[in-house]
Structure 1
Amino acid sequence: MAAALVISAPASGVGKTTLTLALARAWRNRGLNVQCFKSGPDYIDPAFHAAATGRASVNVDSWAMDRGTIAHLVSRAADADVVLAEGSMGLFDGVAARGVSGTGATADIAEMLGWPVVLVIDPSGQAQTAAAIAAGLRDYRPGVRLAGVVLNRVASPRHEDLVRRALDDIGIAVFGALPRHAEISLPKRHLGLVQAEERAEIGKLIDEAARFVAEHVDLDAVLRSAARWSPQPAANGLNVAPPGQRIALARDAAFSFVYPHMLEAWRAAGAEISTFSPLADEVPDASADVCWLPGGYPELHAGRIAANARFRSGLRAFAETRPVHGECGGYMVLGTGLTDADGVSHEMTGLLGLETSFAKRRMHLGYRLAELAAPMPGHQPGARLRGHEFHYSTIVAQPDAPLAVVHDATGAVVAETGSRRGHATGTFFHLIAEDR
């Protein structure tokens, strides 16, 4: 049986990812097999998890996934010694309306799986009040069990002592206290952390984080607080149909937002995946029967994409006879033009009439439920697709026929309907699962 824990916090930016990576690498250095998961929609943290553990990490999401899917995904930890699920935002933060099996909150996963929570608390600018926050989180929802806390960014030994005493008075274990340490700070980007594959020194950074955390946190006490867990048989597997039998997948620094569970579901259904790099001016495999352009950071590489005539003409030729689908950044590249943050306009592939701009940043963030008005690769009209939208682009023009009626998590209709023209389709939302 594995020792299973959830790593969460009162809010974003407190240090969940750093602690998760450090614990994972520290226990791996002890010879333990560590399996990580990420609660909620996030592409970037699972790549860091894989760098720390040497095992693929996948997302589990209570808004978009049913219990059977989540059980199937976590069953990959059957041979692990330690299981860590990193939360998103604050422990109880989700959407107002319940989805398939919850609101998307980390607490849903903790309660569903019976895994206790290690809280990362940043007591900067406070002392005993940190204990009140921890107590509130401990008592807020029956069924969610608090294992203890790790203090992060403590200012001094006196500061640590004040917070420790207050937590001890209310019976909350303190596993350790981390002084401020700039060398283990992960750099940020506008959609979250910089991707692991962009960080050549990521291994060194994780090693330093593991060393630092092992010096200040009682790793044995953390393990003792974990639940003893083994996977239960799942009633069903992944509910994601492959878009085709042979899939040409764009994959490079501009097109990297692909959920591991999606690729696994495609392969499990018998699909074959070949990758190509638009940034290297490559074209889709001629033997593929569908092309998929995922999201990523095309706005950071727009000039290069526009200059890669072989890629653009090759994709247009592919789309004359076979489906091409783009998600978010991939959707933007299927459009006619993309204006970057400096106000420079770049010509894209022109398979759709979409025009987008980053010159005036506007956040689009949240879960999406789409009912298809027309087919897209792998899904028929009327299908209800669950996903999420997360980007800062503005729609300048979206003239093509809408692909779907799209609602946010409250049921409100959103303007980002996606588009279809000929064999090309695109959505601003990233697909997570189809309603059964």
Structure 2
Amino acid sequence: MAASLIISAPASGAGKTTLTLALARAWRNRGLNVQCFKSGPDYIDPAFHAAATGRASVNVDSWAMDRATIAHLVNRGVDADVVLAEGSMGLFDGVAARGLSGTGATADIAEMLGWPVLLVIDPSGQAQTAAAIAAGLRDYRAGVRLAGVVLNRVASPRHEDLVRRALTDVGIAVFGALPRHAEINLPKRHLGLVQAEEQAEIGKLIDEAARFVTEHVDLDAVLRSAASWSPQPATNGLNVTPPGQRIALARDAAFSFVYPHMLETWRAAGAEISTFSPLADEVPDASADVCWLPGGYPELHAGKIAANARFASGLRAFAATRPVHGECGGYMVLGAGLTDAEGVRHEMTGLLGLETSFAKRRMHLGYRLATLAASMPGHQAGARLRGHEFHYSTILAQPDTPLAVVHDATGAVIAETGSRRGQATGTFFHLIAEDQ
């Protein structure tokens, strides 16, 4: 039996990730096995979870996954002492239209699995109103149980006392209060946190967060508030077909946005994965039968990618006889050109005609349901794929054959159809699962 909690908040930016990492490391330091999960389609946070716990973390997503898939994924917590799921955005925030088992809200996972919610409340600029917000979240949905609250970024002992009294008056437990502490702020960039693998000091940062939270939060009381949970048998696993038997996967600071459950599912189906670094001017493994370029930050490395002639020629040679697929940033690199934030155009590999610009920034964010008009690695024409899109690049030209008809979560058709030319395909969405 594992002690299980979901870390959530009224909104983004309250400190969910920092608290999740701190609690995970603090309990691990006590000798407990801690398993983390991420609710929603975030591909950055699971790497931080793994750094804190020493165990791989995966996403669980009520819009893109059915209940059986979620049950299969959370079974990895069977040998854990503590299970922590980090939420996304605010507790009840999801899309307007229901997906396979919910709207993508953290509350869906809390209710589905019976895991109580530990709220992170940032009472900056307020006092008693923080209690009204917490009480509203507690009472909003009957199937979601609130364990209690941790206050973050309190301004002073007097401020803490005002908020604590108000929360006590409405019957909500306060497990601790964290003063402002600049040393444990996680660095950010335009798509979220700077990735864990890019931060040489991430271990020290998590250790400091754990020390700080241990000093200010009653860890034993938090554990007592958790649910005792045992994984239920799953009737099936994730419905994802590997794109090939031997997969050459681009993997470095420019190509790193891969959902952990995707790679695990490919390997579980018998696929072999070899990695290569386009930034190091490496080429795909010649023995691979498919090449996959995930998303990441090509816009931050566009000059280097353009200068790496060996990578470009090697990828073109690979694509002459075997399939190559790119997701989001990988799709942009398969294109003809990428214009960076300063307005400088960089030549990309030219396997597709796609032209994108990071100088003309506009956020593209949301779930995607794509019906393939043509096949792509691992999936045949007519397949319905569920994924998520998040980038700031603008399409200047998308001249190739559309890969799919793509809808957002409301059912509206969107312009980012993906592309196909010869053996090369690409999409702006990151694949999460194929519909059953």
TM-score relative to the length of structure 1: 1.00
CA distance in 1, matches of 2:322, 2:208: 48
Instruction: Tell me the CA shift for residue 266 of structure 1.
Output: 0.4
Check if 1:413 corresponds to 2:413: yes
Instruction: Tell me the CA shift for residue 238 of structure 1.
Output: 1.2
CA distance in 2, matches of 1:330, 1:303: 15
Check if 1:335 corresponds to 2:359: no
CA distance in 1, matches of 2:292, 2:51: 25
Paired residue secondary structure (1:267): helix
CA distance in 1, matches of 2:397, 2:271: 34
Instruction: Tell me the CA shift for residue 42 of structure 1.
Output: 0.7
Deviation string for 1:95-140 (max 9, x for gaps)? 0000000000000000000000000000000000000000000000
Deviation string for 1:286-327 (max 9, x for gaps)? 000000000000000000000000000000000000000000
Unpaired stretches in structure 2, ≥5 consecutive residues: none
Instruction: Name 1:379's counterpart in structure 2.
Output: 379
Paired residue secondary structure (1:18): helix
Q: Following superposition of structure 1 onto structure 2, how do residues 29-48 of structure 1 map, counting pairs within 5 Å? A: 29-48=29-48
Aligned structure 1 segments of 4 or more residues deviating by more than 3 angstroms: none
CA distance in 2, matches of 1:30, 1:92: 32
Deviation string for 1:140-186 (max 9, x for gaps)? 00100000000000001010000000000110000000000000111
Paired residue secondary structure (2:78): helix
Instruction: Name 2:2's counterpart in structure 1.
Output: 2
Instruction: Tell me the CA shift for residue 360 of structure 1.
Output: 1.3
CA distance in 2, matches of 1:432, 1:420: 20
User: Percent identity at matched positions?
Assistant: 92
CA distance in 2, matches of 1:260, 1:122: 30
Instruction: Tell me the CA shift for residue 37 of structure 1.
Output: 0.3
Deviation string for 1:55-90 (max 9, x for gaps)? 000000000000011001000010000000000000
CA distance in 2, matches of 1:271, 1:204: 35
CA distance in 2, matches of 1:269, 1:187: 36
Check if 1:75 corresponds to 2:75: yes
Check if 1:347 corresponds to 2:347: yes
Instruction: Tell me the CA shift for residue 230 of structure 1.
Output: 0.8
CA distance in 2, matches of 1:311, 1:347: 13
Paired residue secondary structure (1:242): coil
Instruction: Tell me the CA shift for residue 385 of structure 1.
Output: 0.2
Deviation string for 1:220-271 (max 9, x for gaps)? 0000000000100001001110000000000000000011100011011110
Paired residue secondary structure (1:79): coil
Instruction: Tell me the CA shift for residue 212 of structure 1.
Output: 0.3
CA distance in 2, matches of 1:157, 1:273: 53
Instruction: Tell me the CA shift for residue 280 of structure 1.
Output: 0.5
Instruction: Name 2:429's counterpart in structure 1.
Output: 429
Paired residue total: 436
Instruction: Tell me the CA shift for residue 348 of structure 1.
Output: 0.3
Paired residue secondary structure (2:99): coil
Instruction: Tell me the CA shift for residue 47 of structure 1.
Output: 0.5
CA distance in 1, matches of 2:346, 2:211: 45
Instruction: Name 1:53's counterpart in structure 2.
Output: 53
Paired residue secondary structure (1:85): strand
Unpaired stretches in structure 1, ≥5 consecutive residues: none
Deviation string for 1:170-208 (max 9, x for gaps)? 100000000000001111110000000000000000000
Instruction: Name 2:283's counterpart in structure 1.
Output: 283
Paired residue secondary structure (2:306): helix
CA distance in 2, matches of 1:293, 1:32: 37
Q: Following superposition of structure 1 onto structure 2, how do residues 7-406 of structure 1 map, counting pairs within 5 Å? A: 7-406=7-406
CA distance in 2, matches of 1:406, 1:142: 35
CA RMSD of aligned residues (A): 0.4
Deviation string for 1:358-377 (max 9, x for gaps)? 01110000000000000000
Paired residue secondary structure (2:212): helix
CA distance in 1, matches of 2:275, 2:204: 29
Paired residue secondary structure (1:90): coil
CA distance in 2, matches of 1:260, 1:229: 23
Instruction: Tell me the CA shift for residue 43 of structure 1.
Output: 1.0
Paired residue secondary structure (1:50): helix
CA distance in 1, matches of 2:359, 2:26: 43
CA distance in 2, matches of 1:79, 1:148: 25
Instruction: Tell me the CA shift for residue 335 of structure 1.
Output: 0.2
Deviation string for 1:327-361 (max 9, x for gaps)? 00000000000000010100000000000000111
CA distance in 1, matches of 2:285, 2:187: 35
CA distance in 2, matches of 1:213, 1:264: 32
CA distance in 2, matches of 1:12, 1:309: 41
Instruction: Tell me the CA shift for residue 394 of structure 1.
Output: 0.3
CA distance in 2, matches of 1:261, 1:246: 18
